[in-house]
Chains A and B, each alone.
Chain A
């Protein structure tokens, strides 16, 4: 088991390096001159050179990358051009908010998706199955923006039940586990959960229907087991694959949060990324994307580590 994990970790290293190089080179892919955001339009060549040197932009690209990477591994992601605060600090707070939202949305997506998927899988071909599939497909195909706005119009504007923006009263950004803060999370979490719920529903449905069609389930019936015990067998057989689907969906969920956090002004990494893009805040952009990318890598690692625990057929060495 330990060896298996060590191997997985080792595989992750080249991925991380590639990811960081891609993040870094964003500066050169992004349109416009990164300096134009900090410099007045009529700055003299002298000042431009000075600022370039200050940001290390006068050195060759690979040197810049090496320096940036060297600082990044020590947790120094530079200073945000927009706010003047350390990027690591900005991301630190945002990622907590994002994770809270993502966790909430995942719980919603996982619970509803698994439940609907199992119901549909157990009744595959029936009207219930078709209805669940229709719900799942609409969950997957509805755009985040549209769903978010519709929810806001209904629950904030018309009914005035839930707040439409932010993560706390008066623009508060520090999260607390009380109803005053939870209220703010409901609409963005539901919006964010729509796609993963749909995909998890469909995957679980397919998995359960497939497992139920297996000969061994008939053999379990022939042993005289009750439907409840057989259900446990079905869940244990579907869990390993379901887990990897859920893992991938968590990753997509973080990606989806960019739009959703923007729609609801939720102070997370998504909103931060959006701000960084629009303000051409290159250090903030590089840092945020790096952290998000590492999050994906970590998530995959976690799924890889958990899968052999659930499925004896996956070798641990």
Chain B
């Protein structure tokens, strides 16, 4: 019996599906303790796409990996709370986690060429996951894998099932990764810069495919990117990360159309000039902070042109400037 269930919920509702509360992640494998995530709060409504935006090193991937609990357990500590579908991920047993990963929540990685097992056929890698989560036999799972390859428009999917990763291009592999991620009908999709490693023309195709899949199946989605244009294209809401914190979040139009946080403003300016072939006239001065020695108060203050004594006095407050738009900056604090 083939399970004809399709991924995800099919409508957006106001009920939060994911609630991340004061998430902190530290790494203590090296000489110094690295504070990669420093109190992230995020709420994702069912069926909504949240674009997680920020420079490289701002903690986007670590946030997603913490959500999947795939960070190296011996070298990392996660605190706070991550609730998905009403259950606390940080309290799950190994068994519950194995059901959660790939079943309820699945992830698409940045480098499709590195994220598939090189010595397994791509079809078998999907089958393995389907057998694991859908409780059907290999034959039925193969049909499901075929169906998933059809969703992502892979040409001659039947023969592709028996191809090895090295026989496929980066764009095709990312389609396979997407098929794999969708194959067990997840309700939460985590995409970690899924187009960054691809050629420019392929990037757009994969982005459009992801948007199509999200609309078709309606999973709640976190889409990580450092590209403002991509975030604008795919997101309902945007959360901007800096030094392991969300500094601004809100509806995509508000945050990207009328950015409030000095970092978001800088990010948008540098993107505009970035597209003008190397002339980054107004890029944000300075460099991201050392996560092993974070500055006191606001982590962005050393680079901020509006910096004032209050910025280094203590952690900046998270100010709600409208019903659904938060900014972590002293400048918006009510007097």
Contacts and interface: CB of A to CB of B under 8 A. Distances in A.
B180 A223 contact: yes
B117 A237 contact: yes
B117 A224 contact: no
Interface stretch (B79-87, B105-113, B248-256): B105-113
Shortest Cβ-Cβ A-B pairs, 3 listed: A224-B102, A224-B101, A223-B102
Contacts of B164: 312-313
Interface stretch (A175-183, A210-218, A292-300): A210-218
Interface in B95-140: 97-103, 106-107, 109, 111, 114-120, 128-129, 132-133
B124 to A, nearest CB: 11
A219 B120 CA distance: 13
B132 A225 contact: yes
Contacts of B111: 215
B102 A222 contact: yes
Interface residues of B, number: 28
B120 A233 contact: yes
A221 B107 CA distance: 10
Interface in B61-109: 65, 68, 70, 97-103, 106-107, 109
A218 B98 contact: no
B132 A223 contact: yes
Interface string A161-175: 000000000000000
Residue from the set A216, A236, A311 with the largest chain B CB neighbour count within 10 Å? A216
Interface centre among A214, A215, A224, A310 (most CB of B within 10 A): A224
User: Of residues B97, B98, B119, which shows the largest number of chain A Cβ atoms within 10 Å of its Cβ?
Assistant: B119
A223 B101 contact: yes
Given A215-B109, A215-B111, A312-B164, A222 B119 contact: no
Contacts of A150: none
Contacts of B103: 224
Contacts of A218: 65, 70, 109, 115
A226 interface: yes
B128 A229 contact: yes
Nearest to A214: B114
A311 to B, nearest CB: 6
A220 interface: yes
B153 interface: no
Interface residues of A, number: 21
B166 interface: yes
Contacts of B65: 218
A219 B166 CA distance: 17
A129 to B, nearest CB: 12
A236 B102 contact: no
12 contacts: A219-B115, A222-B106, A223-B106, A224-B98, A224-B102, A224-B103, A224-B132, A225-B129, A229-B132, A236-B120, A237-B118, A313-B164
A240 B118 CA distance: 12
Contacts of B180: 223
Of the listed residues A237, A310, A312, A313, the one surrounded by the most CB atoms of chain B closer than 10 A to its CB is: A312
A223 B129 contact: yes
A313 B132 CA distance: 27
Nearest to A227: B94
A240 B102 CA distance: 29
Given A240-B119, A310-B119, 14 more contacts: A214-B114, A215-B114, A216-B114, A216-B117, A218-B115, A219-B109, A221-B70, A221-B101, A222-B68, A223-B101, A224-B102, A224-B129, A224-B132, A224-B133
B119 A236 contact: yes
Nearest to B129: A223
Contacts of B101: 221-224
A5 B65 CA distance: 45
A111 B155 CA distance: 45
B166 A313 contact: yes
A223 B97 CA distance: 10
Contacts of A225: 98, 102, 128-129, 132
